[in-house]
Amino acid sequence: MASVFLIEDDQAIRQSLVRALSDQGHSVRAVSTAADALRDVMSWDPEIVVLDLGLPDMDGRDVIRMLRAVSQVPVIVATARDDPEEIVRLLDAGADDYVVKPYTAAEMAARIRAMLRRSRTESARPGPLRIGGLEIDPVRREASVDGRPLDLTRLEFDLLAYLAGREGEVVSRRQLLAEVWKQPYGGGDKTIDVHVAWLRRKLGESATEPRYLHTVRGVGVKLVDPTP
């Protein structure tokens, strides 16, 4: 179980989520403004932050950036907007995962469990991996391409490390959902496509001119060594 910091201005949502997560054994602290959140996050030092993007006192993306400036805590954002561009912006601002409103307490609880599994198994991973100009250190959670450090979100790093650990192997979306997103029951193809697209951009390549990341239509994604 975990310490969860909930930032939500809607009293009904806040109360039901605090109740549901507490019933599951989590230790929950809830605030209703960005100012309170930024004041308390350092002293409370939670394992997970759940952030409503529609707060009365500050833009949601600014809150993510300000949280990121002081903490590497995993952040799950709750957004009312379900368009891929907005989700890319949120992930790029430093969010680790998102849920689209309205969501159920059960869905949020499952997201929190998945996030905890990911963050708690990080330390048990093997040493650096080199594929062509790509270097990935799972322990230090650092990656670079051609000597250029990559600024990756938690999920982007997990996705890259998972694919790199299976060099040349086509990995299906279902497998990625189960193994990287820890969601074995499907859904979320768009989430994967968004992360692959963003990872490509950071690697300096595109879907039309791929180097490392190759989409195999109707099957999945593979990471290959592009050096001849």
Binding site for Ca ion (CB under 5 A): 9, 52, 54
Q: Is the separation of the CB atoms in 42 and 71 below 8 Å? A: yes
**Ramachandran angles phi, psi of 10, nearest 5°:** -80, 115
Compute the least distance from the CB of residue 59 to Ca ion, in Å: 12
Nearest residue to the partner Ca ion, using Cβ: 54
Compute the least distance from the CB of residue 97 to Ca ion, in Å: 18
What is the rounded CA–CA span in Å between residue 21 and residue 226?
A: 46
Our CB check for Ca ion shows the closer of 52 and 156 to be 52
Our CB check for Ca ion shows the closer of 100 and 219 to be 100
**Secondary element (H or E) of residue 214:** strand 213-216
Our CB check for Ca ion shows the closer of 9 and 167 to be 9
Q: Is the separation of the CB atoms in 73 and 49 below 8 Å? A: yes
The angle, 0 to 180 degrees and rounded to 10, between the axes of the packed helices 154-164 and 105-121 is 60
Our CB check for Ca ion shows the closer of 63 and 131 to be 63
Phi/psi region, residue 214 (left: phi>0; alpha: psi -120 to 50; beta: rest), is beta
3-state secondary structure of 54: strand
Compute the least distance from the CB of residue 35 to Ca ion, in Å: 15
Compute the least distance from the CB of residue 55 to Ca ion, in Å: 6
Compute the least distance from the CB of residue 141 to Ca ion, in Å: 32
Q: Where are the alpha helices (DSSP H) in the chain?
A: 11-23, 34-44, 60-70, 84-93, 105-121, 154-164, 173-179, 189-203
Our CB check for Ca ion shows the closer of 54 and 133 to be 54
